[in-house]
Amino acid sequence: MSIRQVSSCHICFNSIEKGEEVTTCPSCKSTFHRECWNEYGGCSIYGCKNAPEYKKEDLDEKYSRAQWGQEKKVCPYCSEEISIDTLECPLCHEKFQSAEPLRRQNIYKQPEIIVPEDSEVKEARYLSIALFIFSLMGCLSPFILILCPVWYLQNRDKIRMTSPVYQLLLGSSMFFSLLYVILIIVSVIRL
C-alpha cells in the first residue's frame, strides 16, 4: 500500500497534478508550477534566497501610474484633466507635492493654529471642577448654591471660552447643590 503525496504550488496554492510542469526552488526545495514560478519571478517563500527582490522605486513607479485604476486626475486649481503621475499642471503650472489626486478642499485647508491657553481660562476650568466636587458634599451645598451663580455672573466670558464640559459641570454643581439644600430643608422640617 503506497501513500500518494499531494503537493501544492506555494504561489497559487492549487494542487500540483501528475504530469504538470514543476519547478523546485534550489534553496528551500519548495515546489511550484513552472508557469507560476516564471510569472512571480522566483520563490514565494519569505526569506528564501531565490525570492524576487523588489526595490521601492520600482513599486512606486508601478503604482503611481494608476491610482486605484485611474489613469487621469483633475487639477484642483484649474479643473484640467491631467495624467495621474503629473506633479505640475501643464495648463496652470501649479505644482503638487505628490502624484495623489487632490480635491479643492484639501488645497485650501488652513493648518490648525494652536492658541496658548490663557491662564484665566485655565483658572475657570479648575474652579468649575472644584465647584462640582464640592457640590457633591452635602454640608457645603448651601455655600456652593450661593457661590456658583455669583462666580458665574462675574466670569461669564471666561467660562464661555472653556469647553462645554466645564459649563455642564458648573450647571451640574448648581443642580446638585439645590438638590442637597432641598433635602436638608425637608429633613429639618420632618424633625
Average pLDDT over all residues of the chain = 79
Q: Are residues 41 and 65 in the same domain?
A: no
d(CA 86, CA 72): 9
Query: What pTM was estimated for this model as a whole?
Result: 0.39
* pLDDT tens for each residue of 85-121: 778 888 888 887 777 777 766 666 545 555 556 788 8
Quick check: is 1 in a domain? no
Q: Are residues 175 and 158 in the same domain?
A: yes
Distances (CA, A) of 8 to 17, 30, 56, 111, 191: 9, 9, 30, 54, 89
pLDDT at 44 over 50: yes
Q: Are residues 42 and 68 in the same domain?
A: no
Quick check: is 130 in a domain? yes
22 bridge partner residues:
33
Per residue, the 3-state secondary structure of 56-99, as one string, reads: HHHHHHHHHCCECCECEEECCCCCCEEECCCCECCCCCCECCCC
d(CA 31, CA 22): 7
Q: Are residues 134 and 151 in the same domain?
A: yes
Q: Which domain covers residue 161, as residue numbers?
A: 119-190
Mean pLDDT of 162-191: 89
Quick check: is 30 in a domain? yes
Q: Are residues 176 and 131 in the same domain?
A: yes
Quick check: is 113 in a domain? no
Give the CATH number for residue 32: 3.30.40
Please state whether beta strands 31-33 and 22-24 pair in parallel, antiparallel, or not at all (unpaired). Answer: antiparallel
Q: Are residues 186 and 133 in the same domain?
A: yes
Sign of the dihedral through C-alpha 82, 86, 87, 90 = negative
Fill in the amino acid letter for 68.
W
Helix intervals (H) in the chain: 34-40, 56-64, 104-107, 119-135, 141-154, 156-160, 164-190
Three-state DSSP at 67 gives: strand
Quick check: is 71 in a domain? yes
Q: Are residues 28 and 63 in the same domain?
A: no
Quick check: is 91 in a domain? yes
Quick check: is 114 in a domain? no
Quick check: is 85 in a domain? yes
Give the chain's domain count.
3
* pLDDT tens for each residue of 111-155: 555 555 678 888 888 998 999 999 888 888 889 889 888 988 888
Please name which of 169, 183, 178, 184 lies closest in space to residue 133, comparing C-alpha atoms: 169
- Going by pLDDT thresholds of 50, 70 and 90, the confidence category of residue 63 is very low
pLDDT at 58 over 50: no
- Going by pLDDT thresholds of 50, 70 and 90, the confidence category of residue 179 is very high
Q: Are residues 67 and 88 in the same domain?
A: yes
Instruction: Quote the radius of gyration of the chain (alpha carbons, Å).
Output: 36
